[in-house]
Chain A
Amino acid sequence: MSTSTIAAPPSTWRLDDTHSSVGFQIPYLANAFKGAFREFEGTLDVTDAGAKLSGAAKVASIDVKDENLAAHLQSPDFFDAEQYPELRFAADRVALDGESVEVDGEVTIKGVTRPVEATGTATGPLTDPHGNERIGLTLSATVDRTAFGVSWNAELPGGGQALGNEVTILAELYFVKAEQ
């Protein structure tokens, strides 16, 4: 596969958080459970040496349908929002192959930083009705939550456990080119 790093005039792209989403999906009982974060930020920096992608999500903004579940997910059993208020991501390699994109970086969850590879698609650039240049990145990555100390589980009466360990992180990112 021939890949190239994003090559463009040096530029900074800010995340349009109104239209973007950052969430996760995890096996739970007989299906997959999805959650998201309402507050996050991100930046895509294109330099002569390549592109860098970075971002953070606020744990306290976790968005699930029940407030008691949200409170449990923020407790020390899961993300421990008080001690570790942010999830972070930083990548200094963003490789394009047509519309496919591969991102090598590090994710920090509950204070633990580990390497992660995200893959997905890139769209654009295109110009929106207001004259802004936009690009889109749709990325997913899989991590083992127990490697980050997020290890709550519950035994099922018939054997096995309620919650899976492999978590898929899903990000639909809309970037707007910042004024130079």
Chain B
Amino acid sequence: MTKVLAISGSLRRDSHNTALLRAAAERAPSGVELELWDGLKAVPPYDEDDDGDLAPAAVTALRSAVAGADAVLFATPEYNHSIPGVLKNAVDWLSRPFTTNPLRNKPVAVVGASTGVFGAVWAQAELRKVLAATGARILDRELAVGQAADRIDGGRLTDDETADALADVLRELEAIVHAREAALTRAAA
């Protein structure tokens, strides 16, 4: 079973991006299991003085959750043409220490929703750039869910085309996980 940690960059209760991840969990292909992470709001501002063996509990929990997952699926809204500060902050915590950070070589995918027509494409590109800096293994694909208010009703995704695309993203992410496992097996042989 491929374990995918799903992280929404939006804290809002009725977030379209969180709804996307719930839909991804429901439509996950067999062999893929999604866990929705809901600890983003508890992650404090990054401060190297607070890092190390006594890192804040919310950060330790986040690092453990990513380390324990086979892959991570991010859904990001777009704030001022970029990613939300809280999401960048969480990735900054995850990226330290750089040489052993839990995102290193981790297969990751990025999707995004917005109420406008562009579907958070710039935020997705920015998040992929940030994730590349951490050493993550990034799925080269975007899923831009525009006009999200028309596709999500009462917190549920109602658009089959988007649901199919989410399932495709998970299948491609699973393929990267399997390729990574094969490489690690070869290296150990």
Residues of A at the B interface (CB closer than 8 Å) are 67-68, 70-72, 74-77, 80, 82-83, 85, 152
Does B136 belong to the interface (CB within 8 Å)? Answer: yes
Does B57 belong to the interface (CB within 8 Å)? Answer: no
A140 to chain B, nearest CB (A): 30
A100 to chain B, nearest CB (A): 39
Question: What secondary structure prevails in chain B residues at the interface with A?
Answer: helix
A71→B187 contact, CB < 8 A: no
Given the known inter-chain contacts A71-B135, A75-B104, A75-B105, please indicate yes or no for A82 contacting B184, CB distance below 8 A: yes
Known: A80-B137, A83-B179, A83-B183. 19 other contacts (CB 8 A): A67-B99, A68-B99, A71-B98, A71-B104, A71-B135, A72-B135, A74-B135, A75-B104, A75-B105, A75-B135, A76-B105, A76-B135, A76-B136, A77-B133, A82-B180, A82-B183, A82-B184, A83-B180, A85-B183
A119 to chain B, nearest CB (A): 34
Which 7 residue pairs are nearest across A and B when measured between Cβ atoms? A75-B135, A71-B99, A83-B183, A68-B98, A82-B105, A76-B137, A67-B99
The interface size bin for chain B is: 10 to 19
Residues of B at the A interface (CB closer than 8 Å) are 98-99, 104-105, 132-133, 135-138, 179-180, 183-184, 187
